[in-house]
Structure 1
Amino acid sequence: MVDSDHAAIVRMGDVEMTAEALAILQAAGAEGIEHPGGTLLAHLQRVSDLLASWGARSVLVSAGLCHALYGTDGFPVALLDLGRRAELVEAIGTEAEALVYFYASCDRKSSYRGLADSQGAFVDRFTGAPMYPSLEARRDFAELTAANELDIAAISPEVRIRYGADLLDLFTRWRPLLSEPAWAHCRSVLDQPIHKN
């Protein structure tokens, strides 16, 4: 069932959008997909809540709720076909949907390395095309990635043991893109010494 407290942290003007997004996620079966910490839907709600707790703007909070709808490089299950992007635009707005697509489209092997570099290429895994996103887009991507990975690491000791050092290294490289609350949460969850650049 949908967490009734979830919409409470979203600004009142966004409650209707959140309800529409949750309806799309439920119709797509997110409640029935296992994920660390319960279901995919529960994970998506936690990511959205975490972004809100960091003071993220409402567009990014909405994108956090829907970030796995088109699948990702690390989670290949697509709940909504790319041909149906207009449905998500109607539910959460053009800018939030564009962030969901941007997140889903990331070819991680090609893109993670240079994300903090303004000249670093970001490769769209759906099209193979490189692009050079704006600083704001790179910050949104880094913040959403941190919320996603830190939620899983906080829930799963196995993930922390296996990937914690790599995640800390990644987020240390991305430090210029992360908000202070995201960086503090990263250090708290990963519970390792900070590596200086």
Structure 2
Amino acid sequence: MLRAGGAAGIEHPGGTLLAHLERVSALLSSWNARPALVAAGLCHAFYGTDGFAVALLDLGRRAELAEAIGAEAEALVYFYASCDRGASYPGLTDDAGPFTDRFTGERLRPGLTTRRDFAELTVANELDIVAISPAYRARHGAAFLDLFTRWHPLLSEPARVHCHIVLGQAG
């Protein structure tokens, strides 16, 4: 589905979108993430994101992705893609913090597991780009260090360690 959607031909820092997706999935796997989160890492850009508008699959075809990777992983892909980052990032660690779906405008209050999965996937995504793009690191590294430090309660130990390794000297 990734190749059929054109991921191998879409430019992305570090090569192609396909290469990025594969690296994010491998990073999550190295952090011992459960299989649904690893699969979501591989497919996290299928519907585009608030930071990457290119979509590989229309939202009306969610069932196809769910059949390919499982319903739980597809739900994580949708949740990740749906994030209005400006509205959702600041309150992510707060149980009552709002999460705004950029597709529907709905304000949600996701549970702890969902927020942890979202944070872990976001960190893997951004750390992959920071690690391979000096310009991206220079532009965003300090802000990511600040954000991901605030998100530490949601992150696994391997993700926290990787943040420190990649962003420890950002800024």
Shorter-chain TM-score range: over 0.9
Partners of 2:106 and 2:143 lie apart in 1 by 27
Give the equivalent residue in structure 2 for 1:130: 107
Using the size of structure 1 for normalisation, the TM-score is 0.85
Q: Partner of 1:74: helix, strand, or coil? A: coil
| Equivalent position of 1:17 in the other structure | none
1:102 aligned partner = 79
Per the alignment, in what secondary structure is the counterpart of residue 26 of structure 1? coil
The amino acid of 1:111's aligned partner reads S
Where do 1:146-157 residues align within 5 Å? 146-157=123-134
Structure with max Cα Rg: 1
Partner Cα separation in structure 1 for residue 148 and residue 167 of structure 2? 11
Query: CA–CA distance in 2 between the matches of 1:62 and 1:105?
Result: 17
* C-alpha distance after superposition, 1:49-69 (max 9, x if no partner): 000000000000000000000
Q: 1:168 aligns with which of 129, 134, 145?
A: 145
Does the 8 Å contact 2:45/2:77 carry over to 1? Answer: yes
Correspondent of 1:191 among 159, 168, 171: 168
Cα distance in 2 between the residues matched to 1:162 and 1:121: 27
Q: CA shift at 1:132, angstroms?
A: 0.3
**Structure-2 residue corresponding to 1:56:** 33
Q: SS where residue 27 of structure 1 aligns?
A: coil
Q: CA RMSD in A?
A: 0.8
Cα deviations by residue, 1:63-108 (Å, 9 ceiling, x for unpaired): 0000000000000111100000010010001000000000000000
Identity of aligned residues (%): 74
Is 1:66 the counterpart of 2:30 in the alignment? no
AA in 2 matched with 1:97 = E
1:46 is matched with which residue? 23
Q: TM-score, normalised by structure 2?
A: 0.98
Gaps of 5+ in 1: 1-23
Q: Which residue identity is paired with 2:108?
A: M
User: Who is 1:13 aligned against?
Assistant: none
Deviating above 2 A after TM superposition, structure 1's stretches of 4 or more consecutive aligned residues are none
Q: Does 1:82 align with 2:43?
A: no
Please state how far the C-alpha of 1:161 moved relative to its aligned partner: 1.0
Please tell me whether the aligned partners of residues 145 and 168 of structure 2 are also in contact (alpha carbons under 8 angstroms): no
d(CA) in 2 for partners of 1:94, 1:26: 21
Query: Given residue 68 of structure 2, which amino acid in structure 1 is its aligned partner?
Result: A
Q: How far apart, in 2, do the equivalents of 1:120 and 1:109 lie?
A: 13
Q: Structure 2 unaligned runs (5+)?
A: none
